[in-house]
Chain A
Amino acid sequence: MVENQIRNTQQPSRAAEIVPAIDLKGVSKSFGPVQANKDINLTVKRNSIHGIVGENGAGKSTLMSILYGFYKADAGDIFVHGKKVQIKDSSHALDLGIGMVHQHFMLVENFTVLENIILGAEGDPLLAASKAAAREELARLAKDYGLNVDPDAIIEDLSVGQEQRVEILKALYRGADVLILDEPTGVLTPTEADQLFRILEQLRDEGKTIILITHKLREIMAITDTVSVMRRGTMVGTVATKDTSPDKLAEMMVGRHVLLKVEKTAAQPGEKVLEVDGLSVTDDIGVPRVKNVSFDVRAGEIVGIAGVAGNGQSQLLEAISGMFNPLLGEIRINGKKIKFDGDGVADEVRRMGLAHVPEDRHKMGLVTTFEEWENSMLGYDDDQKFGNGPFLSVKAAREDAIKRIEMFDIRPQNPRLKTANFSGGNQQKIVLAREMDRDLDILIVGQPTRGVDIGAIEFIHKQIIKLRDEGKAVLLVSVELDEVRSLSDRVLVMFDGEIVTELAPTASEKEFGLAMAGLDPAQQ
């Protein structure tokens, strides 16, 4: 409170001090068999930044979706600025000044920014007027908060960072004074994240109230005033940020002690496993994405690729894993060249000893409508152990799946459950279990912990290190700079399709910052 006042530029009214912006009492919600929220109480002070943390599937998104009127609570009361309300639907929530930036963005991909902004808030039946109005308002917001995006850009062409700005602008355009952000930084680079936080603080200082869901305790500690912890659909507790620490929070979340920093010994690199030579990749629409990239990864080392999202990492991964034919250059695994002919050499590449954990599990790594055991053999179904000849041995496959479920502690422990019904964290584990637990020579991993809670992060990091210590080669791509630095033995920084430099993980934030901006620190 005290520091609030110090920090606040404008003095909040007395009323605001006592009347909380949001007050949830005994809120419960269940989806069929799944009880997502059990009797939740939550109080959010006016013009404060309130953090919410919790494991995957803890019920954070659901609780916020209820507050935003997207879902209806089965029980419980909602008070907004002290007034008891029955939030009928999202438009009602918006009228009450509650805006939400969803975890999975709610944008129409082939619309312009402007169209997305006005959608649902058009005003009169013809668009012309409202569009003009929106333009001005956007200009104003851009000026006030440095939230600038080209109003006529098509969403598809924007980076995730920009997409998120659009989401925030949507909320502000609708005059939200309570702003909910669900895992906003999951997809952002450190720089983007910092920009976002500056904006959030500015909003708070102007009297808005912000609820921030995140899996990253660093962020919680950095900008929240208060933090609430959820576990398995219940509210474990709410504390003032200044009175707590990452380890305490982690323990509250998971219910046990967790190591937050990765412990690893020095690497003993062996001979080259993966060699990339003058690789250039051009995407379907002819845009060059990877430009003459060369590097190699040795047995027993983890090579990290740092960089802002959208600088060619994805295309690099796709080329190496045989999913996409590169334009020029060659890739060798254990000295054997990958022959790109026709569509889908990914299976051959796998047989050469490469395992691939894709960046986006929902889009690529999993068929969410399949049962868990089916996903646990995706890409390896031709293996002898899954049945000989053309036939598939369901029995063998399920036994194999159970083995992996136990080894990677995937929950619920049911190979017959539809994959969509696993939480994101567990979905990620299914992919890791499939790719890591086999005799591979090199593992390439994209965004291994995106959207995954710390309990799972700790586990995943351990597994990657273990693999390295068994003398496997690992290529790690992540937009989480911390992650890259703490896991890798060498770090390559990628910018605009090129590898600008190689840095030691111990290099300073500043050096990385420069490199990721495309400037080789060596030359500075």
Chain B
Amino acid sequence: PALIYDAAGKNDKSFNEMAWNGAKAYAEATGNSYQDLEIQTDAQREQALRRFAQQGASPIVVPGFTWSEPLTVVAQEFPDTHFAIIDSVVDLPNVRSVLFKEQEGSFLVGVLAAMKSETGTIGYVTAFDFPLLQAFGCGYVQGAKAANADITVLQNFIGTDFGAFNDINTAGEVGRSQLERGADVVYAAAGAAGEGALQAAADAGKYGIGVDSNQNYLFPGSMLSSMVKRVDVAVQAAFTDEMNGAWTSGIQVLGLAEGGVGAAVDEHNEPLLSDEMKAALADYTAKINSGEIVVHDYRSDNSCPVS
């Protein structure tokens, strides 16, 4: 099996790193090895896919929507190789498309944020105006409003392109600005830069919410939770299914129900969560799984009902 990371690289402490963890988990569980690769330019995507396919690697997992075009091309060239793409759909017989319902996980952390907030103001810091990231924010707002109808949610962008994922300092200032405007919980979805905002919250003795991987350990005592997106599970599953000959192509949507997303609770943030909050978590989780609450996905129409 092989794993090719997205531009941010395997050490982005969130999305790609999760994928990597999945591969490592597979290696530990089965003792098998895997190949992986980081790319430099977009033109290398096809190149990388083809390389591994030629070497007979299968499945080849690619985390990140940016892979959809190159994968569409290469997957057709190698009908007998299995591919899996995360965060995007490639409709081919040998491709598994894994989608996450980030909005559902974000909904839950939104609930927690709204309940934790004493000021009635919470914040969302993200890299730049980008549908996927908007989906996080939109779910977050929906959750917050559900828990407290008249909560104010400040939403800020760090930059205008992928550079924003690395601009820790501006992220920090953005986080601070929200705290200074009364927010006491900040949800940061901005890759490496996110830490800047979480740091700001920690420095100010306020609360932060991490994203993708469980970042609760970063600032114990001030991390309210993390919206985990179990990319690792998806990757490990793809690898193991292939090994057990249980490969399935087609679309796989991992939401709350499938344990694909969720609000991380561990020893680091346990103390911060009141019983009502835990109760609310369970309650909303149930409602969402039952379909009683349908969390709107920004990407479906590039707009958010609430703000």
Direct contact, A vs B (beta carbon within 8 Å): no
B interface list, Cβ under 8 A from A = none
A residues apposed to B, CB below 8 Å: none
